[in-house]
Amino acid sequence: MILVTGGAGFIGANFILEWFSRNNEPVVNFDKLTYAGNLQNLASLQSDVRHVFVQGDICDSQKLKQLLDDYQPRAIIHFAAESHVDRSIHGPDDFIQTNIVGTFRLLEAARHYWNKRIGKEHYDFRFLHVSTDEVYGSLPPDVPAFTEEHVYSPNSPYSASKASSDHLVRAYHHTYGFPTLTTNCSNNYGPFQFPEKLIPLMIVNALTGKPLPIYGDGQQIRDWLYVKDHCIAISRVLEAGVPGKTYNVGGWNEKPNIEIVSLICDLLNEFCPGDYHQLITYVTDRPGHDRRYAIDARKIERELAWKPLETFETGIRKTVQWYLEHKDWIANVQSGEYRKWIAMHYQ
């Protein structure tokens, strides 16, 4: 059995679904169910005995201890995090609590649990920490992509909190010999992504005739990774990664935001004819907006034989089609809090 934290969120839910498509090992899904945690993402597993859901907070040390004692997982995959830069600018406290304090408490609970395991169970245990490329800061144009040796230089409360959690994970390996693995991924996209992030926000707004808000000049560049490819990479790192190592996971798809939005408009026009490009609206850039991120994913390909299966063109087509086919899901996540957040940032 494995333990997944944040398994009702976007990447966590996709990971669990992908996990069960490949093997039958049970998963304990530990999630606080904040605004972005949605058990509807896992509705297909409602009667599946392999999936055990436990609601709880990674900041709750006693709950973590009980969870580990009860289920005895062989590995922990740690997704649980506050993850949106804009939210971190307006409310950094949640990011400090969840991403730093929560990761610390999870590490402590896991370390004590690991120390009680003996023989093969002790040797084979793994703690896989899922992080982001944003910890590396902003890249100038024409500078090589981030490698695992790139100096950390976080520029937002979100990326600073994730960098802090990365440092804690590294320290627990170095100090205690705790068998950690870290992955730093580029921008994910795909099914079940809460519509505050760029791609689902553009799709949802376009379908309802609302403006498509583009920060600044729209030339911010990101590397885009289809979420299923990311989930396969995580499974591969868990299977064969070397404890103490970091693996960058990227899609080899650097594109400016305005190009992404234009392509979404083109695809929507193909599936649901309309004049979506006229909805593009430029808005004031957010504070400290990083200009470029890019991941060099050669290490994970060289050492673990992983590389993405989707191009951006195939992945974005699948993503747009998914949102068109799941309008009930969109309606259910558009709560009052979601509408309030959109108003705060984009009106």
Catalytic-residue membership of 69: no
Burial of 325 (0-12, 13-18, 19+ CB in 10 A): exposed
Catalytic-residue membership of 158: yes
CA 91 to chain CA centroid, nearest Å: 19
Burial of 318 (0-12, 13-18, 19+ CB in 10 A): middle
Number of Cα atoms under 13 Å in the Cβ half of residue 89: 13
Averaged over 90-109, what is the pLDDT? 97
User: Long-range CB contacts (< 8 A, 24+ apart) of 148-154?
Assistant: 148/184, 148/245, 148/246, 148/247, 148/248, 148/299
Q: Model confidence over 21-50: pLDDT tens digits?
A: 999 999 999 999 888 888 999 999 989 999
> Tell me, what DSSP letter sits at residue 309?
S
Catalytic-residue membership of 123: no
Which position among 113, 158, 172, 293 bears the catalytic label? 158
Q: What pLDDT is recorded for position 346?
A: 54
CA-to-CA dists, residue 130 to 216, 228, 326, angstroms = 29, 14, 27
Structure tokens at 213: 């808000």
Q: What pLDDT is recorded for position 227?
A: 98
Residue 223: in which H helix or E strand, if any? strand 221-226
Question: Which is it for the CA torsion 149, 150, 151, 155, positive or negative?
Answer: negative
Which position among 134, 166, 196, 223 bears the catalytic label? 134
CA 249 – CA 78 distance, rounded (Å): 16
Residues whose CB falls within 8 Å of the CB of residue 283, separated by 6 or more in sequence, listed in order: 213, 214, 215, 346
What is the overall mean pLDDT for the chain? 95
Closest CA to 30 of 118, 105, 120: 105
Q: Does position 314 have pLDDT exceeding 60, yes or no?
A: yes
Is 2-193+224-252+289-309 CATH 3.30.70.3170? no
Contact of 34 with 335, CB cutoff 8 Å = no
Which position among 31, 82, 133, 296 bears the catalytic label? 133
Q: What pLDDT is recorded for position 37?
A: 85
How many secondary structure helices (H) and strands (E) does the chain include?
A: 14, 12
Tally Cβ neighbours within 10 Å of residue 344: 11
In this predicted structure, which of 194-198, 259-263, 296-300, 341-345 has the lowest mean pLDDT? Answer: 341-345
DSSP string, 259-295: HHHHHHHHHHHHHS-S--GGGEEEEPPPTT---B--B
CA 346 – CA 211 distance, rounded (Å): 9
Q: Does position 260 have pLDDT exceeding 70, yes or no?
A: yes
Q: What pLDDT is recorded for position 333?
A: 86
Q: Model confidence over 328-345: pLDDT tens digits?
A: 899 888 865 545 655 665
